[in-house]
């Protein structure tokens, strides 16, 4: 894809593309000096995220409404933003017990682009449109387009197509008033300024994007009842560490001893929620499962507690 003169001029004005004179001599710095410089630059990121909290809050509230109705959350990105989306989405099944189809990521260039650079894929407008169609994006879904520059053609095309199909659309960018923002219903603009290495948006921009996606996945899941207080009660105990966490969770909520917690988990297919309901209410596994189902999987409601 060849840029026209107008698009070239646009790139030169983007905060994420500017070369900051403050960092012009980093190749002359000692390791300690450069580490301090990067740490100081990174310290500005939380403040930039904080300034965008009203935009973030509005987008999360809208996303939660659709997911409560059975919708999905889909991250779309290219390069570093795409990989950050993949990372956040891939953590949801073990942490919150979601299915891989409920929260997932689409990266320009496909799965191989996660580990191998495929930079040209970000310019493929048709691929962005086709990816949304292939995922059968619908009215209950939320598509979050992640693009540091805010002009990535793959992401902009995906947002436009998702919006045309009736989905909720969110643009997460690190520049203001961008094509991605114009294509989406909700705009989250986290302005972190120029990078220590000019244009290397895996740095501050990438950190900002991960912080925002942490909020998205965590807050939406909390709103969907995937935690009990701050306890990870929908955890999938798929290894030794997580099985021990499951035991601690059951004991914390029920007051049971270790032997009783282990037994409850064993007979309840290692479902933390079900084991807790069974112990607290004195139910067998089938009854505990039915109690959770009756209360839409919400542990607090299944235990008869007020939200």
Q: 186 in helix, strand or coil?
A: strand
pLDDT-based confidence at residue 5 (cuts at 50, 70, 90): very low
Q: Is domain 5-223 given the CATH code 3.40.50.10490 in the classification? A: yes
Mean pLDDT confidence for 183-198: 95
Question: What would the mean pLDDT of 103-125 be, rounded to a whole number?
Answer: 90
Res 102 pLDDT > 80: yes
**Domain spans of the chain?**
5-223, 240-302
Looking at residue 73, what DSSP letter applies?
E
Is pLDDT at 16 greater than 90 in this prediction? no
Q: Is the pLDDT of residue 118 over 90?
A: no
Q: What does the alpha-carbon distance between residue 84 and residue 51 come to, in Å, rounded to a whole number?
A: 21
Residue 12 has a pLDDT of 59
Average pLDDT in the chain: 93
pLDDT band at 120 (very low <50, low <70, confident <90, very high): confident
Mean pLDDT for the stretch of residues 46-55: 98
Q: What pTM was computed for the model? A: 0.91
pLDDT at 6 exceeding the cut of 50: no
Q: What pLDDT, on a 0 to 100 scale, did the predictor assign at position 20?
A: 79
Tell me the mean pLDDT in the region 15-29: 84
Domain 240-302 listed as CATH 3.40.50.720 = no
- Asked whether residue 290 carries a pLDDT value surpassing 60, the answer given is yes
Residues with catalytic function: 91, 122
Alpha carbon distances (Å) from 52 to 55, 261, 293: 5, 43, 37
Determine contact, residues 20/198, Cβ cutoff 8 Å: yes
140 by Cβ neighbours in 10 Å (0-12 / 13-18 / 19+) ranks as middle
Structure tokens that stand for 248 in this block: 């601690």
Residue carrying structure tokens 């904080």: 50
């Amino acid at each position: 894809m060849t840029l026209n003169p107008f698009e070239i001029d646009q790139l030169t004005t983007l905060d994420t593309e500017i070369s900051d004179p403050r960092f012009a001599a980093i190749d002359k710095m000692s390791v300690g000096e450069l580490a301090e410089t990067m740490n100081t630059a990174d310290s500005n990121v939380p403040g930039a995220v904080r300034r965008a909290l009203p935009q973030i809050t509005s987008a999360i509230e809208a996303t939660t409404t659709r997911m409560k109705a059975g919708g999905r959350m889909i991250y779309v990105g290219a390069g570093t933003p795409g990989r950050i989306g993949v990372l956040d989405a891939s953590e949801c099944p073990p942490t919150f017990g979601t299915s891989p189809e409920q929260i997932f990521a689409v990266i320009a260039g496909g799965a191989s682009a996660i580990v191998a650079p495929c930079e040209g894929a970000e310019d493929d407008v048709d691929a962005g449109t086709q990816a949304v169609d292939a995922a059968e994006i619908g009215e209950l879904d939320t598509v979050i387009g992640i693009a540091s520059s805010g002009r990535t053609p793959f992401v902009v095309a995906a947002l436009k197509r998702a919006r045309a199909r009736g989905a909720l659309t969110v643009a997460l960018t690190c520049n203001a008033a961008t094509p991605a923002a114009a294509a989406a219903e909700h705009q989250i603009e986290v302005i972190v300024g120029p990078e220590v290495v000019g244009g290397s948006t895996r740095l501050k921009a990438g950190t900002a994007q991960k912080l925002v996606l942490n909020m998205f996945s965590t807050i939406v899941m909390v709103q969907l009842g995937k935690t009990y207080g701050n306890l990870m009660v929908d955890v999938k105990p798929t290894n030794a560490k997580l099985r021990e966490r499951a035991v601690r969770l059951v004991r914390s909520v029920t007051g049971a001893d270790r032997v009783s917690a282990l037994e409850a988990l064993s007979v309840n297919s290692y479902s933390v929620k079900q084991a807790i309901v069974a112990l607290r209410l004195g139910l067998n596994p089938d009854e505990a499962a039915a109690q959770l189902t009756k209360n839409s999987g919400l542990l607090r409601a299944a235990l008869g507690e007020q939200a």
